[in-house]
Structure 1
Amino acid sequence: MTSTVISSPADAPGAQSGAAGTNLAVVVHGVGDLRVEQRPARTPEPHETVVRIAYGGVCGSDLHYVAEGKAGESILRAPMVLGHEVVGTVEVAAADGSGPVAGTRVAVHPGGSVDPGASYPAGRPNLSSAATYLGSAARVPHVDGAFVQHLTIASSMLRVVPDAVPLRAAALAEPASVAWHAVRQAGDVRGRRVLVVGCGPIGLLTVAVLRRAGAGHITVTDVHASALQRAIALGADRGVLAAEREAVAALGVDLAFESSGSPHGFTAAVGASTGGAVLVLVGLLPPGDVSVPLAPAITKELQIRGSFRFVDEMGDVLAALADGSLRVDEVITHEYPVAEAGEAFDVARDAAASGKVLLRF
């Protein structure tokens, strides 16, 4: 993996100044080709706001685009700005008066508007095939992401960050919303015995949301002992290494969250579940046919529920961060200036060494 600074803000050819300023961006050009380069700052439309980005979290999909040139079935076909987990401060408010005023601290909801004529279940626009998402190669042309110093974006995609929440913590609002949505998919978790498979950032945030929601006993499993330790710091009651398969299978949980995105994780979740348990699939399994044990899922009458991105749980997440009922600080393990994006991505790929890695803009 490489990271190349094409030019500095001071001497970049065609660098813009003024309200939007110069615009460093983190761009993937192909497999192993990650660059920090100058991108023109786009002039906002009347309904758009210019946000000066403060922090951006490196997501698993960002890592996949750089390492493999694809994220699931979304294949990189042209250079694309990465990033969808960002927070910052409004520099230029929308000219039409929509959205927050200049100086307001905001988090970005990366899900774009959906065509009113698109088909999707009521209240679930995240399931629309017409939905867009920042930093996604699902469509051609690709939808550029938000790893830029100055983001021009529809004001409808902004959420005000409460005064009590530091922007660094608010940078986790997007992935925490994914976890919040997953827990919501499970129904009432109060007092229940729960297993979370995979203690990457989404798994860790799922633990934090479960603890806030009153789960009775939370067990976590992962291939790395360091990841288990981070989960316990967030409120998990017990950690079991994935290699201890018999111990995992003997758990007999009422509710399981598969957040590793691997067939092995699915197998572990099915084995650990008791009869009638709910299994929520949070991690994206590899595209195509996957070999997983469905026979025991049938004989146990498991309720298998998918969980994809989120709808508008970000408001709940920000409120919970503000009142202190949702802990996320332990999820963040590293922070790098944007010029060191290459090193940040390398560290983020090492699940034994890192949880959530932030870029500082």
Structure 2
Amino acid sequence: MEKAENLSVVLHAKGDLRLEQRPVPEPGPNEVLLQMHSVGICGSDVHYWQNGRIGDFVVQKPMVLGHEASGRVVKVGSNVKHLQPGDRVAVEPGVPREEDEFFKAGHYNLSPTIFFCATPPDDGNLCRYYKHSACFCYKLPDNVTFEEGALIEPLSVGIHACRRAGVTLGSSVLICGAGPIGLVCLLVAKAMGAAQVIITDLSTDRLAMAKDLGADFPVTVQRADGAQDLAATVQGMLGAQPHISIECTGVESSVQTAIYATRPGGVVVLVGMGSEMTTVPLLNAAIKEVDIRGVFRYCNTWPMAIAMLASGKVNVKPLVTHRFPLEQAVHAFETTRQGLGIKVMLKCDQNDQEP
């Protein structure tokens, strides 16, 4: 293993993305060393590349990108009992560093000191070999592919959002945005029993994918559309205001639409990351007793996601539209930046480029 190459995708600064060799890490007692297989490119990876920061998270030293990942165990730490070399695993990228009040309450994603792949200053896993906490590596059933394992990360955002929203049998749901996160919210909402899902986007191609994945009403949005007019369109198509709106764009007008559209007593969940300050019709939400709930990543979702995939209740395979070997990472990032396709997947194992 000492002689193995560890080609890694490293962001040095805004706009400076490089492929370079790094040492193969040695796992600690509670860690495993993984030979990475499939790693998806997330919008946040591209945002760090283009802007050098997301909010208060600023790239100040070279950082390996990537956090939507799966791989094969090649070495286990001395304390690891539930995994062994050869196991295929999905990686949960957020690992709490301490057993603080958030950890004890089951909300470890909210811990201020959490380790998170590819969030400064923590390195991600877009590389050939990567070590990770064994407790946050989940064994994949034989009928779940490596790519599905990598897609558990975005799928988990959908699971956490739908849980926060209270999606249940018979719910009517508006999803704003048909990008990767909007589409996984659609898949999860349907799996959780939503009766009607209406989804909006500027892109007719993405809405066509949403229709294929089970959306009942795809709605093409024009940039000039007013928030209240779009809310009225949603109500007209559903025959009533939706119980739940899940906002996945972060765009101010879209957040406004979500609030205007939601029925009295309903729930708006904010998934998309937009401007720090956003103007919204708060009075409209207040007099309708609409709950506005935030979402930050996810917690306790990997077991449910694996069960959903293994049972066939959720099919994420159509989301992968482009595949590149790790050596072509810069081209893959450019493809994602241009908004081509839905999910771009990088294949990190030279000897296994299969899904």
TM-score in terms of structure 1 length = 0.90
Q: How much has 1:118 moved relative to structure 2?
A: 5.1
Give the residue type in structure 1 aligned to 2:198. Answer: T
Residue aligning to 2:57? 74
Kindly tell me: are residues 333 and 263 of structure 1, through their superposed partners in 2, closer, same or farther at Cα, counting changes over 3 Å? same
Q: How much has 1:87 moved relative to structure 2?
A: 0.2
Q: Is 1:263 aligned to residue 271 of structure 2?
A: no
Residue aligning to 1:23? 6
Q: Is 1:169 aligned to residue 157 of structure 2?
A: no
Task: Give structure 2 stretches of 5+ with no counterpart.
Answer: 235-240, 349-355
Query: Equivalent of 1:340, from 316, 328, 331?
Result: 328
Residue aligning to 2:305? 317
Give the residue type in structure 2 aligned to 1:235. Answer: G
Q: How much has 1:121 moved relative to structure 2?
A: 7.0
SS in 2 for 1:174: helix
Residue aligning to 2:319? 331
Query: Equivalent of 2:197, from 218, 224, 234?
Result: 218
Q: How much has 1:285 moved relative to structure 2?
A: 2.3
Task: Give structure 1 stretches of 5+ with no counterpart.
Answer: 1-15
Query: Equivalent of 1:145, from 117, 124, 128?
Result: 124
Native 8 Å contact 1:240 1:248 kept in 2: no
Native 8 Å contact 2:173 2:198 kept in 1: yes
- Structure 1: distance between partners of 2:270 and 2:321: 25
Native 8 Å contact 1:233 1:330 kept in 2: no
TM-score in terms of structure 2 length = 0.91
Q: How much has 1:204 moved relative to structure 2?
A: 0.5
Q: How much has 1:113 moved relative to structure 2?
A: 2.4
Residue aligning to 1:181? 160
Equivalent residues in 2 for 1:281-292, closer than 5 Å? 281-287=270-276, 289-292=277-280
Give the residue type in structure 2 aligned to 1:359. Answer: L
- Structure 2: distance between partners of 1:211 and 1:327: 11
Kindly tell me: are residues 129 and 332 of structure 1, through their superposed partners in 2, closer, same or farther at Cα, counting changes over 3 Å? same
Residue aligning to 1:4? none
Kindly tell me: are residues 124 and 62 of structure 1, through their superposed partners in 2, closer, same or farther at Cα, counting changes over 3 Å? same
Native 8 Å contact 1:190 1:214 kept in 2: yes
Q: How much has 1:347 moved relative to structure 2?
A: 1.5
Residue aligning to 2:266? 277
- Structure 2: distance between partners of 1:255 and 1:293: 17
Q: Is 1:199 aligned to residue 186 of structure 2?
A: no
Give the residue type in structure 2 aligned to 1:354. Answer: G
Q: How much has 1:197 moved relative to structure 2?
A: 0.4
Native 8 Å contact 2:25 2:33 kept in 1: no
Q: Is 1:158 aligned to residue 137 of structure 2?
A: yes
Deviations 1:264-306 (A, max 9, x none): 220121122222221011112223x222222222222211111
Question: % of aligned pairs identical?
Answer: 36
Deviations 1:136-164 (A, max 9, x none): 11xxxx11111110111221121001111
Kindly tell me: are residues 182 and 357 of structure 1, through their superposed partners in 2, closer, same or farther at Cα, counting changes over 3 Å? same
Kindly tell me: are residues 112 and 120 of structure 1, through their superposed partners in 2, closer, same or farther at Cα, counting changes over 3 Å? closer
Q: How much has 1:312 moved relative to structure 2?
A: 1.6
Deviations 1:179-203 (A, max 9, x none): 1011011114221211100111111
- Matched pairs, number: 338
